[in-house]
Structure 1
Amino acid sequence: MSLRPFRFVLSALVAASVLSGCNKQTSPATSATPSAAAGQCEPASDTVVATYKLDGAEQKVTYGELTSRIGPPMADLEKRKQDLIKRGLDGYIIEKLVQSEAKKRGLENEDALIKAEVESKVATPSDAEIQKIYDQAKAGNQLPPDVTLEQVKPEIVKMLSEQAKREHAQTLFTQLKEKADVQINLPEKRAEVAAIGPSKGPADAPITIVEFSDFQCPFCSKAIQNVDEVMKTYEGKVKLVFRHFPLSFHGDAPKAAEAAACAQDQNKFWEFHDKLFASQQNLKVDDLKKYATELGLDSARFNECLDSNKKAELVKKDMADGEKVGVTGTPAFFINGVALSGAVPASEFKTIIDAELKKKK
């Protein structure tokens, strides 16, 4: 049995928001992570959770030792749980608002509203749009060399149409939430994330966004526009801090991260950041050195920094800090410690930021 149109659109939108990032895993890193029963308090760190004998002497394992060992996967599970709760609450509210709006307009049901405000507004992709997607896929080696445009055109059309449908649905849902003055009172769990690294915005801004990102991740590139919109909307109130999290399956990302750190030494991080994201298909070492020259960096100093691998430890430190708070994919954001994952719309940043600013009044 297929989902009704409204439920399908809502499910697709939620799925898109969950999958709007590059992830190094799709399931928890270990199945040994304990889960507390409903209502059960977490043990104190010195609670003995196991004993065993070694050479005749009793050995003890405390809860603190256990959580220290499996800290990253536990943080990941907690982050996923919070994401699921937030997505579920958002979906529930949207469903109620759409049902109410359909009733106000005298429509038969919510599906009729979706048809009028979403499906009817999705235009057939132009030949130029289709060609652009095809060319990008070919350039990124995402298609076999002998595949023609005509062979993949139906899939490209479907992909572009579904993307447009999600965008129109997101616009509708945002408008309905603003009209209904939706206020989220869900308690937020905060992660302790060090705001160290290249930054934008006032040092004493009431809002600090720490971003973990990967220069080869296409979702990180897509997120830039939304982050820029947030920085502009809340100018003077937000500080953005960039931290590195190159994923293992992005072969050029680690060296690109090191290169950006080398550029930071010459006060050119953000210029280099923008150049790398605009050139994601060309991130080999020679490309990185070429970009440094184009941006006016001291080439000899930059090349020595990059070739010596002196920034590798900095990148590893960023990744270790990210893993401690449950980062498994990019982009990952922490807004005053509140986690937000993926290339999500600016409106999702706004919801958290507005709530944070309201608390500070």
Structure 2
Amino acid sequence: MENNFKSWMANPISKIFIGTNLVFAVLFFVSVPSFVKEYVTRDAVSIGGKKYDLRDVKESSPIAYSKFQTEYKSLLKNTFGEFAQDKLFELVAKDKNIKPADVLNEGLVLREPSEEEILTVYMSNKEQLGGKSLAETKDKIVGFLKNQQEQEHSRNKYREIISKYPVDFLIKEPDIVRVTVDEKNNPSIGPKDAKITVIEFSDFECPFCKRSQEVNRQLREKYKGQIRWVFRDFPLPFHQDAMYAHMAANCSIDDGKYWEVFNILFENSGNLSVSNVDDLVLQAGVSQNKYKSCMVNKAKIKSEIEADIQDGQKVGVSGTPAFFINGIFVSGALPFENFDEIIQKELKQ
């Protein structure tokens, strides 16, 4: 509730707007688009008099082609989502003889929030209110709570609409683009014969990488015994402390403490100074003597990390986090559902 209140406080006069995102949340079981040959070959680039189309991109730059498909899918979702919303409103409005703009508010009766509800919001967001008293902020809190009532009413209305007017998105599946990515004996979790192998290129200092770790843990837990997770180093050059942190993590492998160090480094990704990294490694249970002995040979460790970076760049990795699920490229700290959809399809293969 705290984050919702903060967003609402930034624009307290805003009214309910249920748009494409809510339609997706209720409706979308969408498959990725696929071009028919006409569209694949229509758009092209001419280089030195020779014409290249998307088939050439797919063959020589599969990651670029995969990114193109992802962006095109997003565009399709937005376009069809807005269109579907308008049509649904028109159908309901005609059926009930009301205006389309009134569809979501039909039957809405707002109740006055209780004193307990108001106090709970105030106490949870006291710091954001700049020291103002409950009396000074009460009207805004009441507005926020009523806005929540409107949102819940609108969500319920959408569920009613969808149950009466089913929506199916008839979008064809594309050819799956797979990239061969070597593991090269990097640290892993899960059985070697797992049907699903996820290779992650990540950076201990990257905030998006840190955010993605909770989703990664959820996936490993849900598909325990079915998934193998491989971690490859990809410290970004503008993260000044990242390289040392990755070197330290690699020096915990021989002591069998890699994943303990992995977790504690991500937990402290905003503070990876050399001295703190050294302390964190020891906190994770790594032998001090073994750690110091390993870190003496910094050039060798660094070269192994740079090899990971080069391998990542060869398959199209330019930022972190980047994932390959059985060779299928996924870029960024995306929600659990994005990964889960791909994994479920792979398990059915």
Taking structure 2 as the reference length, the TM-score comes to 0.63
- Give per-residue Cα distances to partners, 1:15-40, cap 9 Å, x unaligned: xxxxxxxxxxxxxxxxx996985757
Cα offset, 1:241, TM superposition: 0.8
Structure with more contact order per residue of length (Cα contacts < 8 Å, sep ≥ 6): 1
2:181 maps to what in 1? 193
The residue correspondences of 1:95-110 to structure 2 (distance < 5 A) are 95=82, 98=85
2:277 maps to what in 1? 288
Moved more, 344-353 or 279-288: 279-288
| Match 1:229 to one of 214, 218, 222 | 218
| Match 1:301 to one of 281, 290, 295 | 290
1:315 maps to what in 2? 305
**Distance in 2 between residues matched to 1:297 and 1:342, nearest whole Å:** 31
- Give per-residue Cα distances to partners, 1:230-285, cap 9 Å, x unaligned: 11222221111111111111100111111111112211111111100111122122
Runs of 5+ unmatched residues, structure 2: 1-15, 26-44, 108-117, 133-143
8 Å CA contact retained: 2:205, 2:266? yes
1:243 maps to what in 2? 232
The residue correspondences of 1:1-361 to structure 2 (distance < 5 A) are 5=17, 37=51, 42=56, 77-92=64-79, 94-95=81-82, 98=85, 185-196=173-184, 197-309=186-298, 310-358=300-348, 360=349
Taking structure 1 as the reference length, the TM-score comes to 0.61
Q: Work out the number of aligned pairs and report it.
A: 269
1:329–1:41 Cα change, 3 Å: closer
Runs of 5+ unmatched residues, structure 1: 14-31, 46-66, 68-73, 117-122, 133-147, 151-160
Larger Rg: 2
1:110–1:300 Cα change, 3 Å: farther
Cα offset, 1:5, TM superposition: 5.0
Q: Which amino acid aligns with 1:91?
A: N
Cα offset, 1:91, TM superposition: 3.5
Q: State the percentage of identical aligned residues.
A: 31
Q: Give the match's secondary structure for 1:329.
A: coil
8 Å CA contact retained: 1:75, 1:324? no
Cα offset, 1:292, TM superposition: 2.0
Q: CA RMSD in A?
A: 4.5
Cα offset, 1:357, TM superposition: 1.5
**Distance in 1 between residues matched to 2:102 and 2:66, nearest whole Å:** 33
Cα offset, 1:85, TM superposition: 2.5
